[in-house]
Structure 1
Amino acid sequence: MRNLCVKVSYDGTAFNGFQTQPYGRTVQGEIEKAIKKLSGETIIIIGSGRTDAGVHAQGQVFNFYTKSSIPTERWAVALNTRLPKDIVIIEAHDVPEHFHARRSAKRKTYRYTIDMGKFPDVFGRQYRFHHPAPLNVEAMREGLRHLIGKHDFTSFTSIHSTKPHHVRTVYEADFVQEGPILHMYVTGNGFLYNMVRVIMGTLLWVGQGKLAPDEIKTILEGRSRSLAGPTAMAHGLMLMNVEYSL
Structure 2
Amino acid sequence: MLQGRQGKNPDEGAQGHGQRLADPGWLCRNNGGVGMAGNLIGNTALILEYDGAAYAGWQYQINADTVQQQVERACQRLFGVAVSVRGASRTDAGVHARGQVAAIVLPRPFPQEKLPSALNWHLPQDIRVKTTFSVPGNFNPVTWAAGKIYNYYIFQRRQALAIGDKYCWHIPRELDMAAMNSASRFCLGTHDFASFQAAGSSVVDTQRTLRHFFCRRRGNLIIITCIGDGFLYNMVRILVGTLVEVGLGKLPPDMMQSIVSACHRPAAGPTAPARGLFLERVLYRPSLDSYRLL
TM-score using structure 1 length:
0.98
Match of 2:160 in 1: 120
1:48-63 to 2 correspondences below 5 Å = 48-63=88-103
Measured in 2, the distance between the counterparts of 1:97 and 1:199 equals 36
1:41 shift after superposition: 2.1
* Structure 2 Cα separation of the partners of residues 159 and 72 of structure 1: 42
Structure 1 match to 2:274: 234
Counterpart position of 2:236: 196
Question: Aligned partners of 2:68 and 2:272: how far apart in 1?
Answer: 24
Any stretches of 5+ residues in structure 2 without a counterpart? 1-29, 31-41, 287-294
1:149 equivalent in structure 2:
189
Q: Residue in 2 aligned with 1:5?
A: 45
Look up the SS of the partner of 2:231 in the other structure: coil
Q: 1:217 aligns with which of 230, 233, 257?
A: 257
Question: 1:9, 1:162 → 2: CA distance?
Answer: 28
- Distance in 1 between residues matched to 2:150 and 2:141, nearest whole Å: 17
Query: Per chain length, whose mean CA-contact separation is higher, i.e. which structure has more relative contact order (CA < 8 Å, sep 6+)?
Result: 1
Q: 2:214 aligns with which of 168, 171, 174?
A: 174
Contact 1:73 1:93 in 2 (8 A): no
Question: Residue in 1 aligned with 2:143?
Answer: 103
| Mapped partners of 2:111, 2:251: distance in 1 | 55
Measure the CA separation in 2 of the matches of 1:209 and 1:35: 49
- Runs of at least 5 residues in structure 1 that lack an aligned partner in the other structure: none
Q: Which residue of 2 aligns with 1:18?
A: 58
Query: Take 2:221 and 2:160, find their aligned partners in 1: how far apart are those partners?
Result: 10
Query: How far apart in 2 are the matches of 1:184 and 1:71?
Result: 39
Greater C-alpha Rg: 2
Report how far residue 73 of structure 1 moved: 2.5
Cα deviation, residue 75, structure 1? 1.1
**CA displacement 1:111-144 (0-9 Å, x = unmatched):** 1110011112222201010000121111011111
Q: What's the offset of the Cα at 1:53?
A: 0.6
Write the distance in 2 (CA, Å) between the matches of 1:183 and 1:130: 12
CA distance in 1, matches of 2:250, 2:213: 21
Give distance in 2, aligned partners of 1:28 and 1:174. Answer: 30
Q: Counterpart in 2 of 1:159?
A: 199
Aligned to 2:123: 83
**1:149-205 CA distance string (max 9 Å, x none):** 111000011121211210000111111101211000000000110000000111111
Partner of 2:20: none
Find the counterpart in structure 1 of residue 77 from structure 2: 37
SS, match of residue 81 in structure 1: helix
SS at match of 1:146: helix
1:3 alignment partner AA = N
* 1:65 shift after superposition: 1.3
Give, in whole Å, the separation in 2 of the partners of 1:167 and 1:212: 24
> SS of 1:134's equivalent?
coil
Counterpart residue identity of residue 174, structure 2: P
Distance across 1 between alignment mates of 2:81 and 2:45 = 17
Superposed CA RMSD: 0.9
Residues in 1 aligned to 2:133 and 2:175: alpha-carbon distance in whole angstroms: 43
Cα distance between partner residues in 2 of 1:215 and 1:34? 48
- Number of residue pairs the alignment of both structures matches: 246
Runs (4 or more) in structure 1 with deviation over 2 Å come to none
Q: Which residue of 2 aligns with 1:135?
A: 175
